[in-house]
Amino acid sequence: MGDNEPGLVHMTHHDDPIYAVSIGGSILVPGDDDLSYIQALTEVLKKVAQTKRLIIVVGGGKLARNYQSMARGLGAGNTFLDEIGIAATRLNAKLLMSGLGHLCHPIVVETLDEAAEAIRDSRIIVAGGTHPGHTTDAVTAMMAEKLRADVFINATSVDGVYTSDPNKDPEAKRIETISYAKLLEIVAPYAGKPGANVVMDPLAVKVLARSKMTSYVVKGRDLDNLKLALEGSTDVHGTVINPD
């Protein structure tokens, strides 16, 4: 891994680990006690940010899907639908940011370059989407790679990677540990359609694999457990993805 990239010199002076967290819109604003959940989540993030730097990327959730489906009905094409999704992710990002106070970079980060710059001075940076064609999982993975994060956490609506979709298949079983190659097989059928739902975007899986990142998939609404993952505990309930 090249260590001579512009901007990285300053960063190597910080010893605190960097954790990159993909927060699904489906867990942030599903319409179920969202304010108290977000309040509790911001408390956890602020506490963790005392000892770690955090890259938080927020998904579009219902807002994205609702607007995308109306825009589709009005005749919009895929790239335009993705752009609507990105706008939704950034609105959700701004909502989460409202509760993060002075530890947080005050602007929703829109590009990888902005992320690299913002992490130099802020304990927490918050982003939504960046470009059409992928999801916020992929954005998180790319920011994690570029900013040399130590750990990637996917805080999502399911409590790990399953052998098949647990919402559709009652026989689906949770997998405790998995390799990137195996995970890629599970998520490969994902077509990349605007608003599509899969446990992890295949692009995110590929980026995390090549940067040999340790990753976790956890249920984001289970805050005690998400906190364990953020604290680097080995007792996390979810799926661990090992780099080798």
Query: Near ligand UTP by CB under 6 A, which window of 4-12, 79-87, 109-117, 171-179?
Result: 79-87
Q: Which of residues 10-29 bind ligand UTP (CB under 6 A)?
A: 24-26
d(CA 122, CA 11): 11
- Whether 28 and 160 have beta carbons less than 8 Å apart is answered as no
Q: Smaller CB distance to ligand UTP: residue 25 or 202?
A: 25
Q: Is 195 in the site for ligand UTP (CB under 6 A)?
A: yes
**Residue 64 makes contact with ligand UTP by CB under 6 A:** yes
DSSP structural state of residue 55: E
- In the complex, what is the shortest distance from the CB of residue 157 to ligand UTP, in angstroms, rounded to a whole number? 6
Contact status: 134 vs ligand UTP (CB under 6 A): yes
**Residue 122 binds ligand UTP (CB under 6 A):** no
- Show the site string, 29-48: x = touches ligand UTP by CB under 6 A, - = not: --------------------
Q: Kind of pairing, strands 174-175 and 161-162?
A: antiparallel
Number of residues that bind ligand UTP (CB under 6 A): 26
**What DSSP line would sit under 112-173, residue for residue?**
HHHHHHHHHH-SEEEE---STTS-HHHHHHHHHHHTT-SEEEEEESSSSEESS-TTT-TT--
The partner residues of 156 in beta bridges, in order of sequence, read 219
Nearer to ligand UTP by C-beta: 81 or 228? 81
178 touches 239 (CB < 8 A):
yes
Q: Which is nearer to ligand UTP, 7 or 133 (CB)?
A: 133
85 scored as a contact of ligand UTP (CB under 6 A): yes
Torsion of CA 112, 116, 122, 125, to 10 degrees: 20
CA atoms within 13 A on the CB side of 214: 12
120 binds ligand UTP (CB under 6 A): no
List interacting residues with ligand UTP (CB under 6 A).
24-26, 59-61, 64, 81-82, 85-86, 89, 129-136, 139, 156, 194-197
